Amino acid sequence: MRIKSMPTQPIAGQRPGTSGLRAKVKVFQQPHYLANFVQSVFDVIGDISGQTLVLGGDGRYFNREAIQIIIKMAAANGFAKVLVGQGGILSTPAASCVIRKYQAFGGLILSASHNPAGPDADFGIKYNIGNGGPAPEQVTEAIFKRTTEITAYKIVEADDIHLDEIGQFSMGDMQVQVIDAVADYAALMQGIFDFDAIRGLLAQDFSFVFDAMHAVTGPYATTILEDMLGAPKGTVINGEPKEDFGGGHPDPNLTYAHELVDILYGDDAPDFGAASDGDGDRNMILGNHFFVTPSDSLAVMAANATLVPAYQDGIAGVARSMPTSGAVDRVAEALGIDCYETPTGWKFFGSLMDAGKVTLCGEESFGTGSDHVREKDGLWAVLFWLNILAVRQESVESILADHWVKYGRNFYSRHDYEAVDSAAATQVLQHVRDQFESLKGQTLAGRVVKLCDDFAYTDPIDGSISTNQGVRVLFEDGSRIIFRLSGTGTSGATIRIYLESYEQDTTKHDLDAQVALADMIDAAHQISKLPEFTGRDKPTVIT
C-alpha cells in the first residue's frame, strides 16, 4: 500500500453550516473538493493515530463513491480502524449510537438530511465528535480555517472495499469493519422502550403507517416495527432506500410527506401515522385526521416520559431551540425541572446532555431526541409515541386535547420561503432590525410589542457565545414572531417565519392554527415587507 500526497489548493466556500458542509453533488464531484474537506477535518481534530472512525451515510447519490475516498484517506492519515455501515448506510442517529457504543474517536456522516437527492441534487458531510454529537462551533471553525490553507491531502492507492459484505477487511495497517447498519441501533431502542406493551398495542385493532420516504430509515423501521414488534407487513411504506429517494423530497412535513398525509386524512384513516426524513433524524407524527406539531410533540413526550421504561424515574431537564414554541416550557415548570432555550442546531444540546442537565430536547423543524444518542432521532420519536399510546390506550387527538386542557395551547406555525434571492432575504431581516426601537411599545395584531432583538446564547456549560441566531419580536402576552435564515439549503436562501400565540381558553383549542394566527401572519408581512422584497405572496411550505 502506497501513501500519496496529492497537491491541492483551497476551494472557496467550504465553511460547515448548521449541519456540516452541503452543496450540489456536482460540486462535491469536482476534483479535490471532498478530499480537501476530509483532510481539513483530519488535520484539526487531534491525534488520530491508532483511533477508530465511524463512517456511513443516508444512501443518497455519491454516497458509495465518497465512502471509498474517505476510507482510503483514513488509512493514509493513520486511523487504525474504520467502522462502516453495510452498503455505506448509517442513519444519523445510528451513527451516533455506533460512535458511542464502540467509543470511537469520531465519525463522518454523509448526508444532506431532508434535502432532495440525485445527480443534480444535494450532498453533504459532517464530522461528529467522540460523544456522538455534531462538532461544536470551535471545531467547525477550525475545519473551515484549514480549508483556506490546505496545500495537500493524503490518500492510499488501494482497491475499493466490498461495502455490501459484512466482515473485516484490511487496507494496509488499517482494519475496515463493515457492520450491520441496523443491529446496534435496534438493540438500543429495545433497551429504551416497552416493546411488550407496543406489541400488545399492535396486536389490537390498531392501524399504523410509517412512511420511510425511500430514505435511510426504511431498513431500520422494517426491522424494528415489522420484524421485532410484529406490525403487519406493509406497515412501512416506501421502505427501500434509493439514491434519489424515489424522486421525492424526504422532508417529513405536511407538504412533502403528502402520500402519508393523504392516507391519514383519507377515508378509513389509520389510528397513527409517522414519517422520517433522508438521514433518519427527523419525524412527523399524525393521528387520524390530526397533525401533531413538533413543538407539541416534544411537550407531550416530556409530560408522559415516565411511561417509557428508560425515563420512568423522571427526566433531568428539557431543552428546545429558540424558534420552537414554549409548550415544553410549561411542562417543565409543572414538573419542577429546568428548560433551556438554545440556538437552532443539535450541537447546542450536546454539552447540556453531557453535563446531565437535560434528558429530552427538540426543535420545531421536526427533530426530537434524548440523551440516548447525541443526535435527533426520528424512529426513536415514533417508538416514544407508540409507547405512550400503548400505555394510555387513547387516540393521538385525545392525548393532545387532554394536554391542552392541562397546560393550555401554544398555537404555532412556521412559514418557509425557499430558494429566495440571498440579497432579498438579507434585506427582509435587516428591515425588521432597523425597526427594533420604533416597534417597542407598538400594538401589532392586537398585542403590545415588549422587546425586539437578535437572539444570542451563552452556553451554560462551556461558556461559548453564539450571536445573531434569529430576529425576534416578542409581545407582552408571550406571543412571538421570529425571522431566521435557514442554513440547510444549497440554493439561494430560505426565510423562515415562526409564529406563536398562547391560548388558555379551551373553547378555542380546536381552531386551525392558521386561523388562530392569521393576524400575526399579517403583522409579520407588514413589519418585514417580505412580499415586497422577495416577490413572494405565499410560503413554499407551511408547518
Catalytic positions: 113
C-alpha cell at 161: 472495499
Give the Cα-Cα-Cα angle 483, 488, 493 (nearest 5 degrees): 55
Strand order in the sheet with 106-110: 21-24, 122-128, 106-110, 52-57, 81-89, 174-179, 167-171
Residue whose C-alpha is closest to residue 285's, from 202, 375, 387: 387
Do 82 and 52 touch, CB atoms closer than 8 A? yes
Q: CA–CA separation, 389 vs 275, rounded Å? A: 17
Partners of 416 in the β-ladder: 496, 541
For residues 152 and 133, give the distance between their C-alpha atoms in angstroms, rounded to a whole number: 28
For 430, how many CA atoms within 13 A lie in the half-sphere containing its CB?
7
Instruction: Count other Cβ atoms within 10 Å, centred on residue 4.
Output: 12
> What's the CA gap between 503 and 409, in Å, rounded?
5
Q: How far apart are alpha carbons 455 and 347 in whole angstroms?
A: 17
Q: Pairing mode, if any, of strands 541-542 and 409-420?
A: antiparallel
Beta bridge partners of 176: 82, 169
Count, residues in the chain: 543
Task: Give the Å distances, CA to CA, from 52 to 178, 183, 282, 377, 506.
Answer: 13, 19, 27, 23, 54
Smallest CA-to-CA distance from 515 within 531, 539, 499, 495 is with: 499
| In contact, 386 and 395? CB cutoff 8 Å | no
Q: Which three cell numbers stand for residue 40?
A: 481539513
Please give the radius of gyration of the chain, using alpha carbons only, rounded to the nearest integer. Answer: 23
What does the alpha-carbon distance between residue 484 and residue 491 come to, in Å, rounded to a whole number?
16
HEC string of 425-451 equals HHHHHHHHHCCHHHHCCCEECCEEEEE
DSSP 115: S
Say what the alpha-carbon torsion angle 58, 64, 69, 75 is, to the nearest 10 degrees: 80
- The rounded distance, in Å, linking the Cα atoms of 164 and 86 is 5
Smallest CA-to-CA distance from 496 within 437, 412, 434 is with: 412
